[in-house]
Amino acid sequence: MGGGIAAYKSCELLRRFQASGHDVTVIPTKSSLEFIGSSTWEALSGKPVTTEVFDSVHEVPHVKLGQEADLFVIAPATANLIAKLAHGLADDLLTNSVLMAQCPILVVPAMHTEMWLNPATQANVQTLRDRGIRVVDPDVGRLTGPDSGPGRLPEPQAIEIAAQVLVDGYLPDLDLHGKRVLVTGGGTRESIDPVRDIGNRSSGKQAWAIASAASVYGAKTTVIAANVELPSPVGSTVINVKSALEMADAVDEQLGEADVLVMCAAVADFRPKAPADVKIKKTSDDFVPAPIELERNPDILAAVGARPEADRPLLVGFAAETVTDEAQLIEYGLGKLTKKGADFLVANPVGKDQTFGEDSNSGLVLGPEGIVDRVEKTSKAGLANALFAACREKLSS
Ligand code: C5P
């Protein structure tokens, strides 16, 4: 990690990587130790930590680290560190190891807005991206001191998901620069009264993984999120909505710009016809509530799918199904794909401990002709990669 105040967030990132079973080596720059000292890193990682190439020379550490790593995550990456990486400078253990790296590299910048927007930094970022290094845009928000703007380090959970994209089914040649990806996620809530809703258990994790993947591959990404309690996915703009009607409006507003719409949200098919303006109360001990009359919500995916192909983005739907076997999953999935006019549809089995709220997923990526990909249990980032692998040809045409 580089020497930015956001280095403190990398302690949690390290913990998160460890918790998911990864072997993590910390390579700080000298200036990052001004913020988080080497004792912290040694205690947390359980390994010696150094900034120097000339420690343990007999082990040639930069060569070993560079050759053995499955992934380099540089977070936070300062303007200075990005400049050094762009120019191939190697004057400490981190920059030497990165030059040796044979694995994917994720760079997560964090700095003041002016430094991020400086043409020198932007040119260096472009150089790294042109070389296949994945540089995500920083978050927009509170910076050191009272300022706010682009330059904030994404939250550790968001960086972790982005890192998974570079590990589980990573697509090294995919480049989505210049593309706009619109993703919906979470579960809509339909008001019964001012304090009660009808909802579902969708966590938004799959949508977050898709948005993270889109951003890692360079797309401009917008997520329309229904009741998701996760930190913003890297490089993405998040629009929060509550109900299906609000989501339909937000999709309508954003659609014109999009090259792909991934409808990952669990949208309620029905809503209470006449939600109460005031809280429904038990007025007596033998109070019997009136039945809640429901009416249909619009089908957002089907409405977009009904447009002429030239007048809509590439369209990906999701179908969560409780099924007894794969044949049934294909039957239900293809039925939905055709009915809703989607180009692709991810059909996943749901049920007890499957999919909703979990960190893993599995399923079938279906196209009009049938199975495009059979995705065995993987992280939600792994499934996001399978989805973009299926879309890539149509996206580049
Ligand atoms: O019909 P079902 O709800 O199983 O279809 C799932 C797919 O349709 C998902 O992609 C979901 O986001 C989308 N959908 C929608 N509007 C609805 C219901 C579902 O866009 N009202």
In sign, the C-alpha dihedral spanning 21, 218, 157, 120 is positive
User: Does the residue 175 lie in any domain?
Assistant: no
Spacing, Cα 264 to ligand 1 middle (Å): 8
Helices then strands, each counted (H, E), the chain:
13, 17
Atom of ligand 1 nearest to the CA of 264: 12
| Residue 269, domain member (yes or no) | yes
Atom of ligand 1 at shortest distance to CA of 301?
Answer: 20
Nearest to 190 by CA among 232, 239, 248: 248
The range of the structural domain enclosing residue 337 comes to 180-273+287-396
Q: Whose CA is nearest to atom 13 of ligand 1?
A: 301
Assess whether 243 and 149 both reside in one domain.
Answer: no
Mean pLDDT within 307-322: 94
Question: Is there a single domain that holds both residue 249 and residue 213?
Answer: yes
Pocket of ligand 1 (CB under 6 A): 244, 263, 265, 267, 269, 297, 299-301, 317-319, 336
- CA distances 100 to 24, 27, 97, 173, 251, Å, are 17, 14, 5, 20, 44
Are the C-beta atoms of residues 254 and 222 closer than 8 Å to each other?
yes
Given the CA of residue 321, which atom of ligand 1 is nearest to it?
Answer: 4
| DSSP character string of 137-178 | PPEEEE-STT-EEEEEPPPHHHHHHHHHHTTSS--TT---TT
51-70, pLDDT tens digit by residue?
987 777 676 677 778 889 99
Query: For residue 356, what pLDDT is reported?
Result: 65
The predicted structure's pLDDT at residue 352: 55
CATH code at position 201: 3.40.50.10300
Confidence of residue 353 (pLDDT cuts 50, 70, 90): low
Nearest CA to ligand 1 atom 6: 319
Residue 234 has pLDDT above 80, yes or no: yes
CA of 188 to the centre of ligand 1 (A): 11
Query: Is the same domain home to 106 and 198?
Result: no
Distance 344 CA to ligand 1 centre (A): 13
Q: How far is the CA of 247 from the centre of ligand 1 (A)?
A: 12
* Backbone φ/ψ region at 139: left (φ over 0), alpha (ψ -120 to 50), beta: beta
Using CB atoms within 10 A of its CB, is residue 21 exposed (0-12), middle (13-18) or buried (19+)? exposed
HSE-up of residue 1 (Cα within 13 Å, Cβ side): 28
Answer whether residue 71 is part of any domain: yes
Last residue of a domain, one of 135, 153, 171: 153
Going by pLDDT thresholds of 50, 70 and 90, the confidence category of residue 360 is confident
Residue 8, SS3? helix
Question: For the residues 257-276, what does the mean pLDDT come to?
Answer: 97
For the annotated catalytic residues, the residue numbers are 200
Higher pLDDT, 321 or 42: 42
Q: 93 with 215, same domain?
A: no
How many domains, the chain?
2
Residue 250 lies in a domain: yes
Residues 196 and 343 in one domain: yes
